Copies of this chain bind each other. A is one copy, B any other.
Amino acid sequence: MTQLYALGIGRGTQNTQGQWLEVFYPAPLLNPPAELAAAILNTVGAGTHAIKNTEQGQRLSQTLRTARAGEQAAILDGFCADLPAAGQTVICALPTDSPPADVPTAYLKLQLISHRLVRPHGTNLEGIFATLPNVAWTNEGAIDAQELPARQHKARAQGTPLQVQAVDKFPRMTDYVMPSGVRIGDARRVRLGAYLGAGTTVMHEGFVNFNAGTEGPNMVEGRISAGVFIGAGSDLGGGCSIMGTLSGGGELIISVGKDCLIGANAGLGIPLGDRCTIEAGLYLTAGTKVQTIDTQGRSTGAVKAKKLANQSDLLFRRNSLNGTVECLPNRAAIALNKTLHQNN
């Protein structure tokens, strides 16, 4: 049977050398229907293919309609009306989940995640940093970082200064995907490749890296590093820090279970189970020595925090009279602030 791992019909930007900078896929597909996969493989074939002119686009669009892929055909029609143009139309057909070898493939995979078609860690992103070029994200769209000075001079000479909002390998997610039921206070702080479940609010102080995210509903006012996933009903307080594997978390893959509360300005370096709380302002690393306390309030010894990884119903706090970091049974299982989740 004819199969594809993923398929995207998109439009992107190239630099002056004809190298891809980025690609937008309005409706990427994971495991597209066999009939559509066959239509693609029998015409353009597997891999990344630029559509060269309007006529080629129209022929392919007709093929897609015949294969009962009307939505994809409509996308292609929209992107082919003015070819050849500055923006290039591309078809990316991936036979398998291999590491992303070119820019259109990398962008397709990142958009699969942000469209919630796969979860973080659910698609192979090996080597994506080397694949992605460094791009200046401007009010005139994507510009190769190395071609920026010439463009800036030209724009100024025309009296319309260029506005450079970021120079980064990753764009903001919202320019590509806006998942339903989500609010984002400052879109610059959510990278393409983030996964935001329905009911997620990312406030202005929140941040979500690629290949990371939330199950939803969640209130995110802290920073979710690459690779970290947050379970349903958990809240990240303002300015809190979740360590990633690249940024100090080491070998442990950090995650947060359901119905947890990480306090404002707190920090986390171990994976948490469900219904755990970290007090505002406490930074718990894997190596933090923690005094454990039982339900009777008696000390039961000291352990490194990593020994408590993935356990549920724990409350971590720093005793404000003697400075000891303590771990107690979390009796006040968070009555999740419903107003907070609906509002903010």
Contacts and interface: CB of A to CB of B under 8 A. Distances in A.
A67 interface: no
Contact of A188 (B78, B82, B204, B282): B204
A69 interface: no
**Most central of A139, A142, A188 by chain B CB within 10 Å:** A188
A229 interface: no
A107 interface: no
Contacts of A239: 223, 239, 241, 265
Contacts of A75: 153
Contacts of A289: 320-321
Contacts of A161: 13, 24, 141-142, 175
A167 B174 contact: yes
B281 A283 contact: yes
**Most central of A129, A160, A248 by chain B CB within 10 Å:** A248
Interface in A318-344: 318-325, 337, 339-340, 342-344
Interface residues of A, number: 99
A104 interface: no
Contact of A246 (B187, B204, B285, B339): B339
Number of copies: 3
A81 B267 contact: no
A253 interface: no
Given A87-B156, A267-B265, A238 B237 contact: no
B267 A241 contact: no
A274 interface: no
Interface string A233-257: 0000111110100111000000000
A266 B267 CA distance: 10
A166 interface: yes
A314 to B, nearest CB: 15
A246 B283 contact: no
A85 B157 CA distance: 10
B246 A340 contact: yes
Interface of A: 11, 13, 24, 26, 75, 78-79, 81-82, 85-87, 129, 134, 136, 139, 141-142, 145-146, 148-149, 152-154, 156-157, 159-169, 172, 174-175, 178, 180, 182-189, 191, 204-205, 207, 221, 223, 225-226, 237-241, 243, 246-248, 263-267, 269, 279-283, 285, 288-291, 302, 318-325, 337, 339-340, 342-344
